[in-house]
Structure formats: structure tokens, C-alpha cells
């Protein structure tokens, strides 16, 4: 995600050169993505990006009307990056069954949140007003969840289980709820807090990665086996 500037000129000069060639918008988005690697959404601002790139605030505001406008485009980029990450995860096991793909996608989703916590917040920790969301953002957001639904459809069909549209969407929502919920419990430190307070065994914590991974695999097993057992009872 880092922005690579030519070594023969300063970042400011490079940014101005890109601006004059009509690429300032992409430079701003790249710089914002890089910024989120080490700082939060709250501290990100159009003026700070302008300063980083060595351009005027006026030039920045000619591309983004306000911070929300920037964050919506960043949201689109973020969903595209998430989808690429999930596809790359699936590519590690090209002959995987649908059930294995569900597990791979779960691990890929959690890894993405762990490696890109601030970008993940931009995707899921806030929601802009509906009339400001752009079509390309909607399409990018759908892609990643359709990967999960596709894997679930494969799993159900392989086990000769009902895979009608309603059943598969309910099953997908169930799986996403578990995966996202577990991701947020880890991301926010809630599991570590519960362990500290004595509510959960220590082996569920990050200090015991093998034991934690085993517990998470058991959660996925409960989800997958539960879907297979219950999907036949799901009717529109």
C-alpha cells in the first residue's frame, strides 16, 4: 500500500508532477492508505494529506468535498483490497472443497483485519449517509461477501443440501456473523479482557497462539456443522 516516490525528486515535487498530469486524486488515496497503516481514521484529514504531498489544500478540495468524500473512496479501495486478499487466500488451495474454502475465507478475513486495523475500521466501523455512497463502493463491498456465499453454495451442493437463494443467503449471514464477531472480539481486545478478568481460560488468548487457533477452529467447526445440520430446515 505504500506510495513509492522517485528517488531523483522530493515527495512534494513528485506529488505536484502527478497533480499536473491529473493524478492527484489517486495520489491522495494512496497517501491516505499509507497513512492508515500507522494512524487512525480520526486523525486523517484532507489538510494533512495536502501537507504530506506538498500540494495546496485548495487542490485537494477540488477532488474531495470533505473528509467523508475521501473516506467513501477509501472504502471502495479497501473493499477491493479485502477481496484481493481473500482471493489470494483461496488461491493457496485451488482444489479445496467448499467447506475448506469457508474456513480459508474466515482465516483470511481475520488476517486482513489484523494486518490493516485502521482500514478495516473504515470498512465496518462507520456508515456514511446513504445518499453519499457511490455505486462503485456498493459493488466493491458486494464482491467480498459473494466469495463467502460462493464457498457456502459449493459446500451445500457437495453435501446434497438445499442451496436455494434464501437458504444460502441466511447461511452466508450466519457465517459472516461468526467470522466478523470473532474478528471484532480479537481486534478490540475483548477476549484478552475477559481472560484477564478470569472469565475465559488463558489458552484462548494471544499469548497461546496454538491453543487459540485450536479454539477458533472448533468455533468454525460448530458453524460449518451447524449450517449443514440446519439448512434443510430453512424455508423462505
Locate 90 and state its grid cell: 483461496
Question: Residue 50 belongs to what domain range?
Answer: 1-64
Output phi, psi for 43, to 5 deg: -90, -10
Distance of CA 157 to the CA centre of its chain: 27
Q: Measured between alpha carbons, how far is 203 from 192 in angstroms, rounded to an integer?
A: 10
The answer on 181 and 72 residing in a single domain is yes
What DSSP character marks residue 4? Answer: P
Write out pLDDT tens, residues 119-144.
999 999 888 888 888 999 999 999 99
What CA–CA distances, in Å, run from 80 to 1, 87, 117, 136? Answer: 12, 11, 16, 10
Task: Encode pLDDT of 160-214 as tens digits.
Answer: 998 999 999 999 999 999 999 999 999 999 999 999 999 999 999 999 999 999 9
Domain identity same for 30 and 88: no
**pLDDT tens digits, 16-29:** 545 444 589 999 99
Residues with Cβ within 8 Å of residue 14, at least 6 apart in sequence: 5, 6
Q: Which of 11, 34, 64 is the last residue of a domain?
A: 64
Given 64, 88, 106, which residue is the final one in a domain? 64
CATH of the domain at 80: 1.10.357.10
Q: pTM here? A: 0.86
Q: Are residues 107 and 217 in the same domain?
A: yes
Count: domains in the chain: 2
Amino acid at each position: 500500500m505504500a506510495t513509492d516516490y522517485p528517488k531523483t525528486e522530493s515527495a512534494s515535487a513528485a506529488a505536484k508532477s502527478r497533480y499536473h498530469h491529473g493524478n492527484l486524486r489517486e495520489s491522495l488515496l494512496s497517501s491516505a492508505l499509507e497513512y492508515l497503516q500507522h494512524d487512525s481514521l480520526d486523525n486523517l484529514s484532507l489538510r494533512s494529506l495536502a501537507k504530506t504531498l506538498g500540494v495546496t489544500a485548495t487542490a485537494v478540495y477540488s477532488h474531495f468535498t470533505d473528509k467523508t468524500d475521501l473516506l467513501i473512496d477509501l472504502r471502495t479501495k479497501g473493499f477491493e483490497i479485502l477481496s484481493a486478499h481473500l482471493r489470494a487466500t483461496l488461491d493457496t488451495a485451488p482444489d479445496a472443497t467448499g467447506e475448506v474454502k469457508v474456513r480459508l475465507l474466515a482465516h483470511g478475513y481475520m488476517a486482513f483485519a489484523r494486518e490493516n486495523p485502521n482500514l478495516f475500521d473504515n470498512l465496518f466501523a462507520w456508515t456514511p449517509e446513504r445518499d453519499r455512497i457511490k455505486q462503485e463502493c456498493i459493488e466493491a463491498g458486494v464482491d467480498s461477501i459473494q466469495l463467502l456465499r460462493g464457498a457456502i453454495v459449493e459446500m451445500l451442493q457437495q453435501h446434497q443440501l438445499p442451496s436455494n437463494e434464501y437458504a444460502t443467503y441466511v447461511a452466508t449471514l450466519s457465517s459472516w456473523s461468526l467470522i466478523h464477531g470473532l474478528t471484532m472480539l480479537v481486534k478490540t481486545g475483548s477476549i484478552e479482557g475477559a481472560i484477564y478478568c478470569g472469565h475465559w481460560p488463558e489458552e484462548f488468548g494471544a499469548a497461546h497462539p496454538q491453543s487459540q487457533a485450536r479454539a477458533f477452529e472448533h468455533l468454525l467447526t460448530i458453524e460449518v456443522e451447524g449450517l449443514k445440520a440446519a439448512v434443510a430446515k430453512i424455508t423462505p
